[in-house]
Structures are given as C-alpha cells and as structure tokens.
Chains A and B, each alone.
Chain A
C-alpha cells in the first residue's frame, strides 16, 4: 500500500498499453474494424473492477476474522472504486455498442430495443446495483461495529451474486456480445496473438491503477478515523 515500485509499474504498463494499443496491427474483422482496439480499454475496465471486488471481498473476510475496523474501511473503498470502474466499463461499452450492434438502417429506437434486451447489459446492471445497495446498507446503520459486521457479510453475498449475473446467466441466453461460448477476451481462440501481447499488460495496468486509487482513498479514511482505530 505504501510502496512505490508497483505504481511505477502501473505507469509503464498503461503507457505501453496506450501506445502499443493504438499502433498494433489488428485483424480487420467485419463490423468491428479498428474498434477491436477497445479490447485493451473497455475490457480493461471490467478486469480492474473484478480485481477491486476481489480485494474488497478479501478485506471483508479479514474483518470478520479479526473485527479490526481498518479492514472494513479497506473493503468499503475497494468496492467504491470497483463500482466506479464498472460504470466506466458500462459507459465505454455503450459507445462501442452503438457503432457495432445498433443497425444504422433501423430507426434508433428499434435498435435500442434490441440492444437494451442484451442479457450482458442487464446482468452487469444487476451486479452493479447489488454493489450500490452495499454502499446504501453501510450508510443506513449508525452503530460502527454493527455496520462493519452486517456490510461485510453482505459484501460476501454481493460478490457471490456477481457470478450468476455477469458470468452464468448472460451465457445461457442468446446475445450480441462476443464470447458467448467462454470467457470473452480471455479465450485463446478469439484474440490474435499480437493483440494478446498488449491485452494482458493493459489489464494488469488498469487493475493496478484501480488499486492505487483505492489505496489513496483508504489512507485518507484511515487518517480521518484515527481516533476510532486507536481504541
């Protein structure tokens, strides 16, 4: 949390992801065209979100094992930054979809009704809303220890709910989103090897950026709540 080397690694990886991501040769697929470069940025947001939610889960479990309030602060901030990255993923996905899924020959509302039925979109919306509820639940309990305990338990369930909502259900239904038969972007058959050279460094870089922002927030909160933690 206080070390510098991984922050410099994050800078290097993201600068590499940006420069190489725009210069690497991508296969010219129908419809997708050059937009497949979004793989490094749009999917990177989801990768960062998952890493942050896993961190949040780990700190919730650590809180329940030790009852130390500092883990509760960590769990909350990892979840907040995770939600932020999820929203960025959603917004970038909306831009990408409107130029690949929406049919330019149809009126906009017809295309919208097809895209809005996308199980992937509904699933991630449900998953993110469950995490919103985590933040609301926290703020609705005044007693500190009770808040920490209840929200830590809720956080574990929220993480468990991510699997059906974003991994399982969208795969059982027909979808326009790529990767119906496996993990989109992680499957070795649907990403060219040159793109993979950029993809994984980019994912690690985005995840590190998320963790970096989260640790800054955690440290601010730790300073604020210092008098509480001393007791």
Chain B
C-alpha cells in the first residue's frame, strides 16, 4: 500500500514538471540564452539521471537478493 502511494506521488511529480519548468521562465532567462542549448542539456541530463537511478535501483535489488542467498 505504501509503495502504491509513493508511486502515485512520484507520478504526480512527473506530471507537474512542465509547470515547474515554466514557473521560472522569463524572456531572457538562462534557458533561453545561447540558442536555447540549455534546453537540450536539461533533456539529456534527465535521460542520463533516469538511467543512473534505474541502475542504482537494480543494484539495490541485487544486494537484497545476494543477502537472502547468503543465509
């Protein structure tokens, strides 16, 4: 049950991320400078961090399994 609630909030956070990004946009903000290259960087960072988070999660699950097998 707790897991489901956590997932629900993570999903909400994901859905609200466009609002978070738009909240800080001005006409000449950092994100709009330099041909808007920072937008690309943000997208790539999200992908990269997503992959890392996934790898760390697999790692955690594996650690649990390894502990169980030791006993």
**A-side interface residues toward B, CB under 8 Å?**
7, 11, 14-15, 18-19, 22-23, 212-213, 216, 219-220, 223, 226
Contacts and interface: CB of A to CB of B under 8 A. Distances in A.
Interface string B39-58: 01100110011001001101
Contacts of A15: 45, 48-49
B2 interface: no
Interface of B: 37, 40-41, 44-45, 48-49, 52, 55-56, 58-59, 62, 65-66, 69
Contacts of B69: 223, 226
Contact of A212 (B37, B49, B55): B55
Given A219-B62, A220-B62, A226-B69, A18 B52 contact: no
B44 A213 contact: no
Q: Chain B binding site: helix, strand, loop or mixed by DSSP?
A: helix
A212 B59 CA distance: 10
Nearest to B58: A216
A14 B65 contact: no
Given A15-B45, A18-B41, A223 B58 contact: no
A19 B41 contact: yes
Contacts of B58: 216
B52 A11 contact: yes
Given A18-B41, A22-B40, A213 B66 contact: no
B12 to A, nearest CB: 26
Given A18-B41, A216-B59, A223-B62, 17 more contacts: A7-B56, A14-B48, A15-B45, A15-B48, A18-B48, A19-B45, A22-B37, A22-B40, A22-B41, A23-B41, A213-B55, A216-B55, A216-B62, A220-B62, A223-B65, A223-B66, A223-B69
5 contacts: A7-B55, A18-B44, A23-B41, A216-B59, A223-B66
